[in-house]
Amino acid sequence: MRHGRHILRFAAALLAGIALVSPAVAGKADNSVRFASDQTLDNADPYFNSLSIGSVVSSQVWDTLIYRDPDTGAYKGQLAAAWRWHDDKTLELDLRQGVKFHNGAEFDADDVIYTLNFVAKPENKARQDLVRWIDRVEKLGKSKVRIFAKQPFPAAIAYLAHPKFVIHPHEYYAKVGPKGMNEKPVGTGPYRVAEYIPGKHIRLERNRDYFGDSPKSQPKIDKVEIRFIPDAQTRVAEMVSGGLDLITNVSRDQAEQLRDVPRLQIVSGETVGYSFLRMNTLSGTPAPQLRDIRVRQAIMHAIDRETMVKFLVGERSRVLHAECHPDQFGCVDAGIPRYAYDPSRSRQLLAEAGFAKGFDIDLYAHRDRNQTEAIIGYLGAVGIRAHMRFMQSAAMFTAIRAGNVALAHPIGSRYSMPQPPSRCSTNSRLTT
């Protein structure tokens, strides 16, 4: 469903990538790492999930045609050894030979053709944002394909390097489909899936047959376990007890409390993630009050984003004014309205809109509950009685797409072409 972009300007803060890391990780006798994600992976197939933990998994289990070096920003051949433009809409790729999928199948042009054609069909309900620019894909030989764009698309190489623009084994995918790929994922990446229990964990083991000239570093850790633990207190308790080696997205107050724990290291860095408020102003919105611009402005003035950044998010976080991250190509905030924290102005706007006594509204959220609770507190102070609807990411976004959500507090990021390397963070969550 469409929501006006003008209402998406509550970028509360750039999420600080605070992590707790056990110093003993590198020296563990079994050469393994245990990591807990605050997200629950609903589908391991990269074309059927929109979570950042999905990007972490996909970059380990699968490969893309082109790879973007996170340190230099340079594009390098991954499953495509080389590429060239014939004209402004025709891209030819020479595919790497000798690459094998985890099930032993040899990678070739048929895998590229099948994957991209499958994903491009809307009826298959895969992610269309990655392939919408593609008109068709043709096979020129066992190790050569051509991609025809619908129109000139300068971001094509950047999209082909997206960590979720992966290639599936065509025979296996045709047989099992997205359901089977989710249950038993098969890729060409540096790690193969040893065990996957949706909603609980995914266990990876080193792919000892990973091709040597990959621009990705060769896997050095034998086993990786990723556990899905949405509850922040449980994740921290597991770290303190030694049950985990790494967690991310630790709240500032928890990080401060754990600084004195001898066996833990706390590392903070920027990510390209941010939080914002999403308001449904369509005719069928569950909260018609939001269709009045004065109500939307009142919501913006009611929230003290600077204080949230300082006390809830953590080091190296900041308030954003545009619905994009500065590391994204073309992201500028010149001319974007600023909404200072001004509860008096908020109450005045509500009164002018006919809601002097406020109103009730459901606020949907899926991560960083402490931030959502702070927003509810700020709204309550001006008379807007927001009721928390906290749920898993997949459930929330399904409700949003169905038009059942008036106000939501998503935590995420928007993919686009990156800025030149000098401006890009190389510590963006756990993606490679």
User: Could you read off the pLDDT of 398-415 as tens digits, one per residue?
Assistant: 899 899 999 999 876 655
Supply the DSSP symbol for 383.
Answer: T
Pairing mode of beta strands 407-409, 384-390: unpaired
Residue owning tokens 């047989």? 175
The dihedral over CA atoms of 210, 211, 216, 222, expressed in degrees to the nearest 10, equals 20
Listed residue (51, 2, 1) closest to 402, CA to CA: 1
pLDDT score at 9 = 37
What does the buried/exposed string (b/e) look like for 363-388 if buried means 16 or more CB atoms within 10 Å of the residue's CB?
Answer: bbbbbbbbbbbbbbebbeebbbebee
The C-alpha angle with vertex 129 and arms to 128 and 135, in degrees rounded to 5, equals 65
The three-state secondary structure class of 387 is strand
**Single-letter residue type at 23:** P
pLDDT score at 424 = 36
pLDDT score at 147 = 97
Domain(s) labelled CATH 3.40.190.10 in the chain stretch across 39-228
| Arch. (CATH architecture) of 5-15+273-423 | Roll (3.10)
Spell out where 323-380 has E strands: 359-365
pLDDT score at 12 = 34
Q: Which token pair is 327?
A: 């590391």
Can you tell me the distance from the alpha carbon of 176 to that of 148, in angstroms, rounded to the nearest whole number?
Answer: 28
Q: For residues 27 and 220, is the Cβ–Cβ distance under 8 A?
A: no
Supply the DSSP symbol for 107.
Answer: P
pLDDT score at 73 = 84
Can you tell me the distance from the alpha carbon of 366 to that of 38, in angstroms, rounded to the nearest whole number?
Answer: 10
Can you tell me the distance from the alpha carbon of 59 to that of 82, in angstroms, rounded to the nearest whole number?
Answer: 20
Q: For residues 158 and 65, is the Cβ–Cβ distance under 8 A?
A: no
Q: How far is CA 373 from CA 288, 311, 377, 397, 409, in A?
A: 23, 13, 6, 19, 10
Q: Record the pTM.
A: 0.76
Can you tell me the distance from the alpha carbon of 229 to that of 252, in angstroms, rounded to the nearest whole number?
Answer: 18
Q: How far is CA 258 from CA 18, 244, 250, 264, 269, in A?
A: 12, 15, 10, 8, 17
- Listed as ranges, residues in the chain with pLDDT below 50 are 1-17, 26, 421-432
Q: For residues 308 and 293, is the Cβ–Cβ distance under 8 A?
A: no
User: What contacts 339, CB < 8 A, 6 or more positions away?
Assistant: 9, 297, 300, 301
> Exposed/middle/buried for 334, CB within 10 Å: 0-12, 13-18, 19+?
exposed
Residue owning tokens 């606020």? 363
**Single-letter residue type at 222:** D
Supply the DSSP symbol for 418.
Answer: B
Q: For residues 386 and 298, is the Cβ–Cβ distance under 8 A?
A: no
Can you tell me the distance from the alpha carbon of 216 to that of 39, in angstroms, rounded to the nearest whole number?
Answer: 25
What is the number of alpha carbons within 13 Å of residue 243 lying toward its C-beta? Answer: 10
| CATH number of this structure's domain 39-228, picked from the four choices 1.20.140.10, 3.30.70.260, 3.40.190.10, 3.30.70.270 | 3.40.190.10
Domain(s) labelled CATH 3.10.105.10 in the chain stretch across 5-15+273-423
pLDDT score at 392 = 85
Q: Which token pair is 233?
A: 């207190």
Listed residue (190, 314, 329, 332) closest to 256, CA to CA: 314
The C-alpha angle with vertex 147 and arms to 146 and 150, in degrees rounded to 5, equals 140
Q: Which token pair is 161?
A: 């390097």
Residue owning tokens 């890391």? 21
Can you tell me the distance from the alpha carbon of 75 to that of 137, in angstroms, rounded to the nearest whole number?
Answer: 21
The three-state secondary structure class of 50 is coil
Can you tell me the distance from the alpha carbon of 35 to that of 202, in angstroms, rounded to the nearest whole number?
Answer: 10
Q: How far is CA 17 from CA 53, 96, 100, 272, 273, in A?
A: 14, 35, 34, 9, 9
